């Protein structure tokens, strides 16, 4: 019998999860609530993905950077990557801003929405929780780049510190005499291959993991939660879709000169994993695997562009922050002159760099934007009910943008084996 390709298996699992989660939210298996089973399986899949991150990122960056060798090569890759990140995040935010101004989701028949829609019951609790975690300011991002203890950084999932260390390690490995360099680089090449092998194994379970994670969401968050803020959810979804299916493919065609349909196909497993895990960081091993093995980008480029992207490039998040802040302003009848809107754009850009690639991380950044622009912070209670579902979508966009960056940078570096089939 012909085996169904992995991306189809995952897609089918996703559809089945939506159906089962919605149709049988209260089912039980042998006395055990089905949501508990989903929770267990989902957590197992998330743990397996997270387990891969530190060794895979370390090995991949060291091998990739040791192959770049020269300071010029390194600098060029850095400038292109950061330039792409800035450009796409800005495009995403401006797109969100335009749509939120046109669609005005915060008004119902011309009246501010907060007069008719109640805040979520857990708003206070969530705000207290959110204010405990802070998103990094730009200064803090720089501080995190140089961690005092590399082991602690790895243990705490402080990827930026780990990335800096791996970049330096790879760079200086390249400067060694061949006799010293070779055993070191070979060792990390071996580790890299082993980690890709384990990633493949974990991905074999992706259909089950995706099913459990998504079914849990649909079984516990009824779709009726969206109704009061449906227009807001639609604005975000439309903007995210335009960014994913128009803006980024155009960049792939114009800057990368590749076929975007092929890229979508290559990235399907990673996109669905991002959708179900809500976490760019947990998806990183899968997106590295897809970009390298399915899209054909070299390890040198993948290892440089993707870990950095999962940490600092979040188009979907930046777009969401901007739309959410503007929505809350509209919902409370607050006028937003051009200068304030500009502040929102800048803050969305800067905070999206500091937001961690974990579920619901945007909420922290939105609170910062609301505080900085004098908007009512409790307005966040209007979006809590739909945050989880929208998080799934924006995380998918976050990782897709990183992968487009890898393809575009690789093409500009003269790579020719990309998206050949
Ligand atoms: N969950 C998102 C991510 O991991 C971050 C966010 O927007 O909350 O990319």
Q: Is 401 in the pocket of ligand 1 (CB under 6 A)?
A: no
Q: Is 355 in the pocket of ligand 1 (CB under 6 A)?
A: yes
Q: Is 311 in the pocket of ligand 1 (CB under 6 A)?
A: no
| pTM, two decimal places | 0.88
Q: Is 396 in the pocket of ligand 1 (CB under 6 A)?
A: no
Measured by CA distance, the residue closest to atom 1 of ligand 1 is 359
**Is 420 a member of any domain?**
no
- pLDDT confidence of residue 118: 73
Q: Is 283 in the pocket of ligand 1 (CB under 6 A)?
A: no
Per-residue pLDDT of the chain (421 residues; tens, 9 = 90+): 567 888 889 889 999 998 998 888 888 877 788 889 999 999 999 999 999 999 998 998 898 888 776 777 778 888 999 999 999 999 999 999 999 999 999 988 888 887 777 777 777 777 777 666 666 666 777 788 899 999 999 898 888 888 899 989 998 998 899 999 999 999 999 999 999 899 999 999 999 999 999 999 888 876 777 777 889 999 999 999 999 999 999 999 999 999 999 999 999 999 999 999 999 999 999 999 999 999 999 998 999 899 989 988 999 999 999 999 999 999 999 999 999 999 999 999 988 888 888 888 889 889 989 989 999 988 888 898 888 889 999 999 999 999 999 999 999 999 988 887 6
**Is 200 a member of any domain?**
yes
Q: Is 354 in the pocket of ligand 1 (CB under 6 A)?
A: no
**Is 1 a member of any domain?**
no
- pLDDT confidence of residue 157: 80
**Pocket-testing residue among 357, 380, 401, ligand 1, by greatest number of atoms within 8 A of Cβ:** 357
Ligand 1 centroid to residue 398 C-alpha, Å: 8
- pLDDT confidence of residue 227: 77
**Is 171 a member of any domain?**
yes
Ligand 1 centroid to residue 315 C-alpha, Å: 10
Range(s) of the domain holding residue 126: 6-412
CB 223 within 8 A of CB 23: no
Ligand 1 centroid to residue 175 C-alpha, Å: 37
Ligand 1 centroid to residue 95 C-alpha, Å: 19
Ligand 1 centroid to residue 181 C-alpha, Å: 38
**Is 161 a member of any domain?**
yes
Ligand 1 centroid to residue 67 C-alpha, Å: 31
- pLDDT confidence of residue 134: 60
- pLDDT confidence of residue 86: 94
Ligand 1 centroid to residue 66 C-alpha, Å: 31
- pLDDT confidence of residue 421: 67
- pLDDT confidence of residue 108: 83
Ligand 1 centroid to residue 363 C-alpha, Å: 9
Q: Is 359 in the pocket of ligand 1 (CB under 6 A)?
A: yes
Q: What is the 3-state secondary structure of the chain?
A: CCCCCHHHHHHHHHHHHHHHHHHCCCCEECCEEHHHHHHHHHHHHHHHHHHHHHHHHHHHHHHHHHHHCCHHHHHHHHHHHHHHHHHHHHHHHHHHHHHHHHHCCCEECCEEHHHCCCCCCCHHHHHHHHHHCCCCCHHHHHHHHCCCCHHHHHHCCCHHHHHHHHHHHHHHHHHCCHHHHHHHHHHHHHHHHHHHHHHHHHHHCHHHHHHHHHHHHHHHCCHHHHHHHHHHHHHHHHHHHHHHHHHHHHHHHHCCCCCHHHHHHHHHHHHHHHHHHCCHHHHHHHHHHHHHHHCCCCHHHHHHHHHHHHHHCCHHHHHHHHHHHHHHHHHCCCCCCHHHHHHHHHHHHHHHHHCCCCCCCHHHHHHHHHHHCCCCHHHHHHCHHHHHHHHHHHHHHHHHHHHHHHHHHHHHCCCCCCCCC
Q: What is the CATH number of the domain that holds 148?
A: 1.10.3860.10
CB 100 within 8 A of CB 320: no
Total of domains in the chain: 1
Q: Is 108 in the pocket of ligand 1 (CB under 6 A)?
A: no
């Amino acid at each position: 019998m012909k085996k169904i390709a992995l991306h189809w298996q995952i897609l089918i699992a996703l559809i089945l999860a939506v159906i089962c989660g919605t149709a049988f939210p209260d089912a039980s298996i042998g006395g055990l609530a089905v949501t508990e089973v989903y929770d267990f399986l989902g957590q197992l899949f998330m743990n397996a993905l997270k387990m891969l991150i530190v060794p895979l990122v370390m090995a991949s960056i060291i091998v990739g950077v040791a192959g770049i060798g020269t300071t010029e090569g390194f600098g060029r890759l850095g400038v292109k990557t950061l330039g792409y990140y800035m450009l796409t995040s800005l495009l995403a935010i401006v797109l969100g801003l335009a749509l939120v101004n046109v669609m005005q989701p915060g008004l119902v028949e011309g009246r501010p929405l907060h007069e008719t829609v109640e805040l979520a019951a857990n708003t206070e609790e969530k705000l207290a929780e959110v204010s405990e975690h802070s998103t990094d300011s730009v200064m803090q991002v720089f501080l995190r780049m140089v961690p005092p203890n590399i082991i602690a950084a790895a243990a705490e999932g402080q990827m930026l510190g780990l990335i800096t260390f791996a970049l330096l390690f790879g760079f200086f490995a390249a400067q060694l005499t061949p006799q010293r360099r070779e055993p070191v680089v070979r060792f990390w090449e071996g580790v890299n291959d082993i980690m890709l092998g384990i990633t493949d194994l974990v991905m074999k379970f992706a259909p089950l993991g995706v099913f459990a994670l998504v079914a849990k969401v649909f079984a516990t968050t009824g779709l009726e939660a969206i109704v009061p803020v449906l227009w807001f959810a639609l604005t975000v979804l439309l903007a995210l879709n335009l960014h994913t299916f128009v803006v980024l493919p155009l960049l792939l065609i114009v800057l990368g000169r590749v076929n975007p349909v092929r890229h979508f196909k290559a990235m399907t497993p990673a996109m669905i994993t991002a959708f179900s895990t809500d976490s760019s960081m947990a998806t990183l091993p899968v997106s590295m695997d897809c970009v390298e093995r399915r899209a054909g980008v070299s390890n040198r480029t993948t290892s440089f562009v993707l870990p950095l992207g999962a940490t600092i490039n979040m188009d979907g998040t930046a777009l969401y922050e901007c739309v959410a802040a503007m929505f809350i302003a509209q919902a409370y009848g607050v006028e937003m002159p051009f200068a304030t809107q500009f502040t929102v754009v800048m803050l969305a850009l800067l905070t999206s760099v500091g937001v961690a690639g974990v579920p619901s991380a945007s909420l922290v950044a939105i609170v910062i934007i609301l505080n900085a622009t004098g908007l009512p912070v409790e307005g966040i209670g209007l979006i809590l009910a739909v945050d989880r579902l929208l998080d799934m979508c924006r995380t998918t966009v976050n990782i897709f943008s990183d992968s487009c960056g890898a393809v575009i940078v690789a093409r500009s570096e003269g790579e020719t084996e990309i998206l050949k089939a």
